[in-house]
Structure 1
Amino acid sequence: MKRLVFIFALLFCLSKSSFAISVDSLRYGSFGKIIVYHPVKTPTTVVLFVSGDGGWNNGVINMARDIAGQGALVLGIDAKHYRNSLSKRKTDCYYPAADFEQLSLMIQKKYKFANYSKPVLVGYSYGATLIYGILAQAPANTFKGAIALGFCPDIESKKPFCKGSGLTQHVLKPGVSFYLERTEHLTAPFIALNGFKDETCPFAATEAFLKGMPMAELITLPKVGHGFSIADNWLPQFNQAYTKILNAPSFAERKQGENKELKTQAIKLYGDDLPLTVIPSPKKNNLPLVFMISGDGGWTSFDQSLAEALAERGLSVIGLDAQKYFWDARTPEKTASDLSKAIAHYTTQLNKQKFVLAGYSFGASVVPFIANRLDPALKSHLDAVLSLSPDVTADFEIHVMDMLSLGDNATETYNVLAEIKKIKSVPVISFFGKEEDGDIVTKFIKAGMKTQVIPGDHHFGDNFQGLSLELSKNIPM
């Protein structure tokens, strides 16, 4: 009887718009069956909603319907199934951030989003703790933010979660549970809504955990326990938190706003609709401009940190977010045309005579094709091409590693090694981490490419000072 009263109260209090949505489902990898809640109109964002350890049922269903009623495409994730899938992995640690990013990419490709939208994470109970861990381990600019309902930092897990970009933890019960520790390095908003009457996650402990944590916020729900049974007692606060995250500035916008050199040097930003980040060096010199293209994850903390390290060495950087620009298919010719205009603009703005093309991962594979298609007048100012962890083939569209063949069947037809051989006028240097796939490195060396193997993995150990030094050594000064 109590269960019926709970469901009736929740249904009565939710907004009427939540009942106009449509619902379907799909199966995807470790997530198993995912329930998809479609808004009436074209979705404005994507929400990845993780249930409590009881699975996808009852209260979380209606929470998801309400979010969809506000214009989001909501994916209902059964925590019970996902946790079980994680436990079967033969890895030293878990990195769910990659799973959730791939899920977001897949769903936005499947439903043909015009532009990629960074997803919002929402979680209840177990899901609340999981999304905190995901946000802490993910690179900046992977997720828009997270809302945790009934949050406490302990989580059931057989193995630890990977550190990634900054997650730390300690064992509570070996092979059973871990305590996810505070972080000072969140790169997107984390808002916890906790009941003052919560006995599962005591309010005072959660309050102490989040107090003073940068980019974290705790909203007190005076009449709520752990069950969130009466929507009137938490739904208005939830909607406010959701709106706050949607309106929060992006990672790139925050970095632009924090960059004092942009204002000091009065740099006029490029007017065309290209996803560019400008990192001017405070040092006045004749060094070339570096135009850098990110990996397929977009302009993340890796790219930003490397650009800032280069700027400290006197090299101004213009960064292109590959995930945004290549969301839809481009041609090498169109890409070269678009970027040539931006390069010409910023060489003028920053008073640079020369420039360097650089790229990381996805971007590293496309820069040789751009170099060969620059306008001859602009190409005469190109000093070098630097590729960080390129592949032997390139693509000009972001694709998803889709294990379900949901229409993402592109073949990579661009031969990177052949393209590099066409570049005669400037040096092309490819950099690889010692811990990367040795087969690719061997192919570059056997093909006669100028190749440097330096310490680290695909992210070069996040040693941005060391990496920027290696790059600067190969830039004509």
Structure 2
Amino acid sequence: MIRDLAQFMNKTLSMVKTGPTSVFICLFLMLFYIKPALAIKEEVISHKTFGKTVIYIPQTIPTSVALFVSGDGGWQAGVINMAKNLALQGALVAGIDARQYMAFLSRSSSSCYYPAGDFEQLSMMLQKKYKFSSYTKPVLVGYSYGATLVYGLLAQAPAGTFKGAIALGFCPDITLKKPLCKGNGLKSHVLVPGKSYYLERTEKLAAPFIALNGIKDETCPFQATKTFLTGMPFAELVTLPKVGHGFSIADNWLPQFYQSYKKIIASRSAIEQKNAASVQRMPDKLITTLPLNLLPTPSSDQPLIFMMSGDGGWTSFDQSLAESFAEKGMAVVGLDAQKYFWNAKTPQQTAAAIADAISYYMQNWKKKKFILAGYSFGACIAPFIANRLPENLQHNLSAVCMLSPDERADFEIHVADMLSIDGQDEPYNVLAEMKKARTFKLIVLFGDDEDPATTKQFRQETSRVVTLPGGHHYNNDYTGIVNYVIKSL
């Protein structure tokens, strides 16, 4: 079923020729098509995952990032002007051709698709390419086929990966050869084997999902979409009385589109809300450049945990793991590695800032011992930090806990070289640094579905390497991770 905007121009031009308001419509066309073209810059990049992708760059410094997925008709006509109008609002917009991305997915040998990872990588890559001073969580936008896909992305990704999603002409069925992976909580069932799937309602959304659907939509019936979204956390349906599936007359939906985008940009994620509430309850907060998430506990007997996230930032994985530690009475100070290491740091600089934070919260929360923990990117840098802490803190360090480390580390977020952007190899040898950390108790964890060669390399350096069920996210078994760490102390 083709759900796109391919006939948009023909319909509108027909109105101009025959309608009584041809002058008004011509003026509208000038505003809708010509003004965006004059006010923004366009670049086309070649991407091994997304193919040729059009980037729309506002005249001023971008204030947000939007990843816009077309309908199954491809990147043309109406979606182009939707994207341009977002760029007029200050967004850097990537126009993604759904047909090209579908072709890429169809070549995958995986049992399920995890597009959330591809889109996050694209966002980081673009923000590095266009020299964003700090990382901005992207807004997902999709029309028709793209609307369904961005719902799946938001549902499968760890909370905190994306700012939110806007779906224009949404219904929950999607054409794919294989299902989307469950990830953080997405479920689906087969409609036509090897061809299409139905994405089910989820109770685990933690960022806004706003669907703009027309009353006159015959492809995605309005009432069915309303029933699907009613009562879903973080979901909202915007009713468009004069709109069908084609979104042909911008006056009937563009104001609501702008309003929805601004609403998502201004929103705070569930994790941000939790951290703000936690900080508000604290009488004293450390003044620091470190982007910290704080989870204090009443108990002072258990060690403090200073925990560093992966390069995806402080997502629901990190938050849920920290909450599981807190449930055991272990207060957590969490570092958002994506924010802090977006720009290059040195090991010495990082260790000094972390030492100040650990000292401050150990004193304020009356802790005698602490654990230095890291996940993925954060795990790789953990031994470098431990070896550079002041001597008095090293005496109070109970363990260094590394979840899913790699053999090499860096103190800056880098993105895979899919755009031929000049880059550099990760210069720090994690295994060599671990040898210098023999005085500390090392706890190294991997998922048993992760690369066995990497696990083997770490086993050669320390006997305290354990595999737990699952892949890079350990089947989201936070309690299992916490129980093993506590048992190992």
Instruction: Note whether the superposition's TM-score is higher than 0.5.
Output: yes
Aligned to 1:273: 289
| 2:453 counterpart letter in structure 1 | D
Report deviation, 1:267.
4.5
Q: Which residue of 2 aligns with 1:347?
A: 362
C-alpha contact (below 8 Å) 1:18/1:67 kept by paired residues: no
1-structure distance, mates of 2:396, 2:67: 46
The amino acid of 2:317's aligned partner reads: F
8 A Cα contact 2:145 2:174, kept in partner: yes
| Cα distance between partner residues in 2 of 1:373 and 1:352 | 21
Which of residues 319, 324, 327 in structure 2 aligns to 1:309?
324
Give, in angstroms, the shift of residue 11 of structure 1.
4.6
Aligned equivalents of 1:355 and 1:245: distance in 2? Answer: 38
Q: Which moved more, 1:337-346 or 1:132-141?
A: 337-346
- What pairs with 1:229-244 in structure 2 (closer than 5 Å)? 229-244=248-263
d(CA) in 2 for partners of 1:448 and 1:50?
46
1:73–1:209 Cα change, 3 Å: same
Structure 2 counterparts to residues 10-89 of structure 1, below 5 A? 10-13=29-32, 16=35, 19-89=38-108
Inter-CA distance 448–243: structure 2 relative to 1 (3 Å threshold): closer
Cα distance, 1:226–1:103 mapped onto 2, change above 3 Å: same
**How far off is 1:378 after superposition?**
2.6
Is 1:330 the counterpart of 2:345? The answer is yes
Secondary structure at 1:155's aligned position in 2? strand
TM-score, normalising length: structure 1: 0.95
**What amino acid sits opposite 2:444 in the alignment?**
S
Change (3 A) 1:412 1:13: closer
Paired with 1:248 and 1:233, the residues of 2 have a C-alpha distance of 25
Q: Identify the residue that residue 398 of structure 2 maps to in structure 1.
A: 383
Matches within 5 A, 1:62-141: 62-141=81-160
- Kindly state the Cα deviation for residue 430 of structure 1 after the two structures are TM-superposed: 1.2
Question: Deviations for 1:7-47, whole angstroms, at most 9, x for unmatched residues?
Answer: 95455357956631111111112211111111001111111
Residues of 2 paired with 1:63 and 1:199: CA distance? 21
Displacement after TM superposition at 1:460 (Å): 1.7
In the alignment, the residues of structure 1 paired with residue 451 and residue 100 of structure 2 have an alpha-carbon distance, to the nearest angstrom, of 32
Q: Secondary structure at the match of 1:30?
A: coil
RMSD (CA atoms) = 1.8
Label 1:3 to 1:30 Cα distance change in 2 as closer, same or farther (>3 A).
Answer: farther
CA distance in 1, matches of 2:102, 2:39: 31
TM-score when normalising by structure 2: 0.92
Following TM superposition, where does structure 1 have runs of at least 4 consecutive aligned residues deviating by more than 6 angstroms?
A: none
- The one of 417, 427, 431 equivalent to 1:417 is 431
1:434 aligns with 2:454: no
User: Quick one: distance in 2 between partners of 1:196 and 1:231?
Assistant: 15
The CA distance in 2 between the partners of 1:438 and 1:172, in whole Å, is 36
Structure 1 distance, partners of 2:445, 2:173, is 40
Identity of aligned residues (%): 58
Tell me how far apart the structure 1 counterparts of residues 430 and 185 of structure 2 sit (CA, whole Å): 34
Asked if 1:170 is matched to 2:189, the reply is yes
Q: Does structure 1 conserve the Cα–Cα contact (< 8 Å) formed by 2:47 and 2:53?
A: yes
Displacement after TM superposition at 1:169 (Å): 0.7
- What SS class does the counterpart of residue 307 from structure 2 fall into? strand
Unaligned runs of 5+ in 1: none
Tell me, in whole angstroms, the C-alpha distance in 2 between the residues paired with 1:331 and 1:68: 35
Q: Which amino acid aligns with 1:308?
A: E
* 2:271–2:316 Cα contact (<8 Å) kept: no
Letter in 1 for 2:352: S
Aligned-pair distance for 1:217?
0.2
1:461 aligned partner: 475
* Residue 446 of structure 1 pairs with residue 460 of structure 2: yes
Structure 1 residue 420: deviation in Å? 1.4
| CA deviation vs aligned residue, 1:284-338 (integer Å, no higher than 9, x gap) | 2321110000111111111111100010111001110111111111110011011
Partner of 2:227: 208
Matched to 1:446, the amino acid is Q
Report what 1:320 is aligned to: 335
Q: Give the secondary structure class of the aligned counterpart of 1:92.
A: coil
User: Does residue 256 in structure 1 map to residue 271 in structure 2?
Assistant: no
**For the Cα contact (< 8 Å) 1:19–1:65, is it kept in 2?**
no
Counterpart Cα distance in 1 of 2:412 and 2:216: 50
